[in-house]
Each structure stands twice: as C-alpha cells, then as structure tokens.
Structure 1
Amino acid sequence: MGLGGCIILIAVGAILTFATDWHMQGVDLNVVGLILMAVGLIGTATFSGIARRRRLVVPSTPVVEEEHHRPHHSGYTDGYGA
C-alpha cells in the first residue's frame, strides 16, 4: 500500500467518524473510522520512513567516458556500418 492508499484510509475513517450519522446494528461506525484512521497514520509513518531511507545518497565515483577515434574512410560507403 502506497502513500495514496494511506491517505484514502485516513479520509474514509474521518468521514465515517465525523461526517456520518448512520446507525448499524452490531457495528459502531465511530470505532471503525478511528481504526481506519489509525491504520492510515501507521501506514503513512511506515511509508515515509522507508522512503527516507531510500533517498540517502551514497557518493559515487564519476563516470568518465573516453573518446573513441574512428579512422576516417574516404570514398563511397553504402550506408551500413561505417
């Protein structure tokens, strides 16, 4: 689950907790909303921790390209290869 999924969980949980007045027998939507928000927050924290570790830059040696000198061919070429 990526960052987008975590944000959606938080949003759905907030909607269930704060913006609905449905009453279902045997289900407390406020608790379900709080659980969804908690899972979304935990997922966001985990995702940002993993992303932060991936962003660590390790200095590397620069790549130096050498120039390759091709011998100059005079005359007719048929367009293939040289």
Structure 2
Amino acid sequence: MTIAGSIILIMLGAILTWAVEFDLAGIDINVVGVILMLGGIVGLVFGIWRLNNVRRTAVTTRTTPVSPVGTVDPRTTVYEERRYDDPMV
C-alpha cells in the first residue's frame, strides 16, 4: 500500500465516521469508518518506515579487460545510490 492509498483510506474513514448519517441494517457506518482509518494509519506508518529503511549502497566492480597486445588495463566502476536526506558531497 502506498502512502497516497493510506491517506485516501484515512480520508474515506473520516468521512464515513463523522460526515455520513446513513443507516444500514446490520452495518454500523461509524465502525466501518474507524476500521478504515486504522487501516490507513497502519499503512501510512508502514510506508514511511519502508521509505526510511532504504539505505545508501555502494557497489564496486573491478573489470580487467585484456587488450589485443596483451596489456592489462584495470578499470574500476563505482555505482552509488543515495537517500534524499543525505547531504550533498
């Protein structure tokens, strides 16, 4: 569930809880709204937790291609992924 989906569930639950005065036989609309809000809050907390656990990773690979004359040219390729809250370097 995305953060936007969680916010939509929270809004829908709030609307059902506080703005709708409709009665269905056997279903309490207020309880359905509270359940939707709780599900949205859990999804929102999980989505934020998941975003914060993305860590910066650096992958280094060393390649050593052989040229036609037989000399070795070692090259290093570095890929670095950063989080949005990391300071600029």
Tell me the TM-score normalised to structure 1 length: 0.68
Alignment deviations for residues 20-52 of structure 1 (CA, whole Å, 9 cap, x no partner): 100111100000000000000000000100100
Match of 1:57 in 2: 56
What one-letter code is carried by the residue in structure 1 that aligns with 2:18?
A: F
Match of 2:86 in 1: none
RMSD (Å), alpha carbons = 1.8
What one-letter code is carried by the residue in structure 2 that aligns with 1:57?
A: R
- The aligned length equals 63
Distance 1:2 1:60 in 2: 28
TM-superposed deviation, 1:60: 6.6
Distance 1:15 1:8 in 2: 11
Match of 1:31 in 2: 31
Compare relative contact order (CA 8 Å, sep 6+) and give the higher one, 1 or 2.
1
Distance 1:46 1:28 in 2: 27
Structure 1 runs of 4+ aligned residues shifted over 6 Å read none
More helix by share: 1
More strand by share: 2
Tell me the TM-score normalised to structure 2 length: 0.63
